[in-house]
Every structure is written in C-alpha cells, then in structure tokens.
Amino acid sequence: MPEFDVSMLLSGQYHDMLLAGLSLSLMLLFVSLLLSLPLATIVALLRLSPFAPLRAIGFVFVESIRNIPLLAHMLFWYFGAPELLPDSWRKWLYAGDIEATCAVIALTLYTSAYMAEDIRSGIRSISTVQFEAARALGFSFMGAMRRVILPQALRVTTPPLISQTLNLWKNTSIATVIGVAELMYQAGQVESATFRSFESFAFATAAYLSLSLMITGLAAWFQHRYPARAL
C-alpha cells in the first residue's frame, strides 16, 4: 500500500475540491436546519391540534416521510417532481442549481418530520395542568402555547433536536446520489482522479467526525447548562 500523502490534502487542486465540498455540505446543513425548525414546529402543533382533520394531516406528513428512505426522497424530488411542474417553472428551476435545491427540499422535509415528533413529545411532557391554567387565565390556544408551554418545552426538546441536527449532518452525504457536489461527492471525485482512496476518505471521515463531535459536545453542554426542570 502506498504511504499516506498528507501534502495533497493540505494544498493544491484536490485540497480545494475537498474544501469546496465541505463548505457545500455545511451550507446544506445550515439551510436545511433553518427551514426545518419552523416547519417542524408547525407540524408538531398540527399533531397536537384539538381539531381532528389537522391532527390527521400532521400524522400523514410525519409517517409518510419517516417511513421512506431519504435516498428515495432525493430521487423523487430530483427525477420525479420537476416533471409535474409547468414548463416555465421547470425551465426556471433548471436554470438555477437544481441539484442543491432538490437536496435541500428532501433534507428539510425528512428532518422536519423527525423534529416534529421530538417537539411534540417535548410539548406533551409539560403537564396538561399548565396548559389548562393558562387557558383559564384567558390565554388563547396559540397564546398559551407561545407564552407558557413552548418556553418550558424548549428545555426538554433542545437535546433531541440537537441529535436530529447530527442526523441531518450525516444525511447531507446522501445528496451525492443526485450529483450535489458536497463533501462525499468531492471525496469520490478526488478518489477517482488520484486513486488515493485512503487520503480522500480519511479527509471526509475526519470532517464528518469532527463536526459530529462538536454537535455531541453542544448537546452535552446544553444539558449541563440548562437541565430540564422537574414540574
């Protein structure tokens, strides 16, 4: 086996390719995370709604997305969904970066279905008396949620949400199947150009691991700093 060549990772063309991949992976992570959080909150509230049809919509959303692999989501959004759009929309879509757009759509939907369940169980962990007392004091459903339940639920839900962020970070790698030039894709490109599989995969693994380590550390810090209060 040839020896490990660090220099190709530290500078030059392949170094730039891998770094470009890493930054696109990070972009996918941040954009999908920012879009997932509000969507997940809405879906969680749908699932807790007093109105049965809304609850059903939330249930169908969560179950239909969680029970299909992310790869199938990606393939559907990239190969399938654009065909359903009107011609002019499709032209506009293909003019932009359609791969990254489809990856963000798939990642956002997938992550928000998981996060919605975490938020829902966080909200449910707050005693119903809290909600009833708030309603009795004259808060509306949304007002009681916003001022009484959510601030308490946030402490309980943040650790699982951080671990979903970790899953999202790992899931960005699947965007490689639809040709998004993120870290995994670039590692594969460098591997096929140089036949240095060990170096390029070591770089990618180290990058994935170090961010995972940071996210895990963040979760541990949060649980230490803001422990869930017993009610």
Q: Given the rule CB under 8 A, which residues bind other proteins?
A: 1, 63-64, 66-73, 75-76, 79-81, 83-84, 166, 170-174, 176-177, 184, 187-188, 191, 197-198, 201, 204-205, 208-209, 212-213, 216
| Token reading at 96 | 């932009």
Measuring CA to CA, which residue among 131, 146, 118 is closest to residue 231? 131
Residue 60 C-beta: closest distance to other proteins, Å: 11
Residue 38 C-beta: closest distance to other proteins, Å: 24
Residue 75 C-beta: closest distance to other proteins, Å: 5
Residue 138 C-beta: closest distance to other proteins, Å: 38
CA distance to 124, 143, 205, per residue, from 49 (Å):
12, 14, 42
| Token reading at 12 | 């030059």
Contacts of 126 (CB under 8 A, 6+ apart): 149, 152, 153, 156, 231
Residue 98 C-beta: closest distance to other proteins, Å: 14
Q: Please, which residue, 73 or 120, has the CB nearer to other proteins?
A: 73
| Token reading at 173 | 């790698």
Q: Please, which residue, 38 or 69, has the CB nearer to other proteins?
A: 69
Measuring CA to CA, which residue among 172, 138, 148, 158 is closest to residue 25? 172
Q: Please, which residue, 141 or 188, has the CB nearer to other proteins?
A: 188
Q: Please, which residue, 131 or 208, has the CB nearer to other proteins?
A: 208
State whether residue 228 is helix, strand or coil. Answer: coil
Q: Please, which residue, 140 or 210, has the CB nearer to other proteins?
A: 210
- Tell me if 93 sits within 8 A of 85, measured CB to CB: yes
